[in-house]
A = this chain, B = another copy of it.
Amino acid sequence: MALMETGKYSQGSVLGSVNPDLASERQTASFSVEKLTAWLDGGAEQTRLRRAVVGVIESDPVFSRENQYFQSQNERYEAAVRKAVHLQKKMHEMGWSENGPEFKYIYRAVAGDVAFLLHRIFMRSISMLGSDEQIAKWIPLASQYQLIGSYAQTELGHGTYLQGLETTAVFDVTTQEFILNTPKISAMKWWPGDMGRSATHTVVFAQLYIHGKCYGIHPFIVQIRSLQDHSLCPGIIAGDIGPKMNFEHIDNGYLMLQSVRVPRENMLNKFCEVQPDGTYVRRGSQKINYFTMTSVRISLISGEAIPSLMKACTIAIRYSAVRRQSKLKPGEQEAKILDYQTQQEKLLPQLAAAYAFHFINDYLQEVFDRGYREIQRKNFDTLPELHALSSGFKALVTQYCTSGVEICLRACGGHGYSLLSGLPSLYTKIIASCIYEGENTVLLLQTARFLIKCFMAASTGQSIPPSVTYLAATKAGKCPAKNKLDFLRPDIYTEAYQHTAVRLISSTAAKLQDLIQSGAKKHDAWNRCTVQLVQAAKAHCHYITVKNFVETVEKIETKAGIQRIMKHLCDLFALHGIFSNTGVFLHDGYISGAQMDMVTASYLDLLAIIRKDAVPLVDAFDFTDKSLNSALGSYDGQVYQRLYEWAQKSPTNKQISPAYGKYLKPLLHNRLSKL
């Protein structure tokens, strides 16, 4: 900590001693925070392990994020490389392996600010798409870091539509090589991480041409930089794509290929091969590719989206228990802003959502694991459902978490806008998750396509996957709630969500059929329904999230008040969803206006109830101060002192700006007319 400039304000000793306004929040917890943490972790042993990993990482100064908010893009890149290299060393020292139990906690602990994440995707793609020989050749090199890999798929002109990629790989029978080219500027590879400045190799996706015929997109291993001096290889033009909203630590790069030749063996050929004479052979199922993206999207939900929302809630709720502003009752002390209904209504639904998503992640993981077992038995039947679930939930969760983080940021007022609060960087990072690994609207439309198919199948009596069986059991009816307490009954609100999802899916299916029957072309009819299809897909995912939360709460066996508070959060999540989307529930009169008033009343009542446990509920996420890296969100709640001390370290306070000598002094010392 910087030394205070004057003794009077030097309350250095204050840091670490908990602000009484935060301490009092913890004394009245209705449940055991430690037990909730253990339950969220999947058992006390997991909590112990996680804390051990976090402890090792955070006590190592190389992993410090202390100056992160003050660094330039160049500095952040250098730090990320330093950390990535050091992490390998650390893991070696500690005996941690990629398959070990500690592994999943490591990236949480380093808080994502490391390089070489694409190196891992490079390895994964070779493992999945390469032959045994290719795996035997490349994986040891990569895992020993005798090369640094990247993954060059996206181009300037193409992201979501992979078939449209323009990079070419022409097979030259005479030399047994592929000749790779970037035929035009839009074909330039653009965005791949680790590629701008670090990678020596990359997997390039290109249109394969043999004897003038195009066989579509295939992956090729291409060396781009010298292993000796890191200079660009002949025919390679590469560099960094420049500043972004965040991810300054990653060298997202561009790559142009000018008649770059790679040997025939460099095409990853588990599923297809070009034989020496140019014969193209396809083998095995390509469906497995879906599974890769499924796994990536699910790990994104648990690894990026949910922790960001949990951190933002922790910061904003602790701050709101410490910040006092204006008087709620005349003559009294200024009130904690968390006591204002509007502040509760901003933050507590985000808290409930963080829990809801933690549980839906468990559900997705389970469905995924089950699917994986089936696939190992060569049964690919679950793939469409898995794809629909992972797409829809990737979109729903990243969208929800992004807006949740923004709400938390704004709920902290001006101080939330300071980078030192930690909230701006959480926001600028998580918003990218709405775009990468599948743009959310595109993904929701894929889920919608699955839903429409299933709905049609169900209506003709065919069997449909477990997550959508509810589509077959449609019934009209009205919501039976008679008073506001009825809306705290999970059966009541779950049914309302189900009803709404079915209605949106069935009405869109009907519109689609109407359009086609009245002569519209199929693709045109689809396009004209897409706004509603997106709504339907969201409603489906929202319903499953509520249902899963309810089932999770029912299964809770831990004592210590946990089930009660989880039930409140579940109710809040469900009623917030209705309160924020009243229209879809009112539309066909399933819920009446009078019932909606009951929903509102119960919803607002819940805010006041959960408010009492708000701080313990974020404490249970168990983020260390170092991982939050927030002047507002630290465990001790000494926000003003910390803001002041951290600001001292800013480069803007470390130099006399040249602006004084150059501009201010001449201005002040002369009359304007002499300028």
Q: Does A245 contact B (CB under 8 A)?
A: yes
- Is B593 a contact partner of A652 (Cβ separation < 8 A)? no
Given known A147-B668, A530-B341, contact A651–B428 (CB-CB < 8 A): no
Q: Does A655 contact B (CB under 8 A)?
A: yes
- Is A242 a contact partner of B70 (Cβ separation < 8 A)? yes
Q: Does A18 contact B (CB under 8 A)?
A: no
- Is B78 a contact partner of A659 (Cβ separation < 8 A)? yes
- Is A198 a contact partner of B445 (Cβ separation < 8 A)? no
Which chain B residue has the least Cβ–Cβ distance from A85? B663
The segment out of A101-109, A418-426, A479-487 that lies at the interface is A418-426
Q: How large is the interface on A (under 10, 10 to 19, 20 to 34, 35 or more residues)?
A: 35 or more
Given known A78-B658, A583-B586, A596-B583, contact A240–B647 (CB-CB < 8 A): yes
Q: Does A73 contact B (CB under 8 A)?
A: yes
Docked complex Cα distance between A582 and B582 (Å): 7
- Is B147 a contact partner of A657 (Cβ separation < 8 A)? no
Which chain B residue has the least Cβ–Cβ distance from A424? B245
Q: Does A200 contact B (CB under 8 A)?
A: yes
Given known A9-B256, A145-B667, A672-B88, contact A650–B243 (CB-CB < 8 A): yes
- Is A668 a contact partner of B145 (Cβ separation < 8 A)? yes
- Is A156 a contact partner of B644 (Cβ separation < 8 A)? yes
- Is A74 a contact partner of B159 (Cβ separation < 8 A)? no
Interface of A, secondary structure class, is helix
Q: Does A263 contact B (CB under 8 A)?
A: no
- Is A164 a contact partner of B644 (Cβ separation < 8 A)? no
Docked complex Cα distance between A6 and B596 (Å): 65
Q: Which of A390-410 contact B (CB under 8 A)?
A: 406, 409-410
Which residues of chain B are near A416, meaning CB under 8 Å?
435
- Is A243 a contact partner of B675 (Cβ separation < 8 A)? no
- Is B191 a contact partner of A242 (Cβ separation < 8 A)? no
Q: How many identical subunits does the complex contain?
A: 2
Q: Which of A321-360 contact B (CB under 8 A)?
A: 323-326, 328-330, 334, 339-343, 345-346
Which residues of chain B are near A650, meaning CB under 8 Å?
73, 240-243
Chain B nearest CB from A250 CB (Å) reads: 11
Q: Which of A480-528 contact B (CB under 8 A)?
A: 521, 523-524, 527-528
- Is B245 a contact partner of A89 (Cβ separation < 8 A)? no
Docked complex Cα distance between A211 and B452 (Å): 78
Which chain B residue has the least Cβ–Cβ distance from A162? B326
Q: Which of A70-90 contact B (CB under 8 A)?
A: 70, 72-74, 77-78, 81-82, 84-85, 88-89
Q: Does A158 contact B (CB under 8 A)?
A: yes
Show the binding face of A for B, using Cβ within 8 Å.
5-6, 8-9, 11, 69-70, 72-74, 77-78, 81-82, 84-85, 88-89, 92, 144-148, 154, 156-161, 164, 182, 185-186, 188, 190-191, 196-198, 200, 227, 230, 237, 239-245, 251, 254, 256, 258, 323-326, 328-330, 334, 339-343, 345-346, 406, 409-410, 413-414, 416-420, 424, 428, 431-432, 434-436, 439-441, 445, 521, 523-524, 527-532, 534, 581-589, 593, 596, 600, 604, 640-641, 643-644, 646-653, 655, 657-660, 662-668, 671-673, 675
* 10 contacting pairs across A/B (C-beta < 8 A): A69-B243, A158-B325, A160-B325, A239-B648, A241-B647, A243-B650, A339-B527, A340-B530, A417-B431, A582-B583
Extra A-B contacts (17), CB below 8 Å, given A73-B652, A198-B664, A409-B431: A8-B258, A9-B188, A69-B243, A70-B243, A73-B650, A74-B651, A89-B675, A92-B675, A160-B325, A188-B644, A197-B652, A243-B418, A254-B647, A328-B523, A428-B428, A531-B604, A586-B593
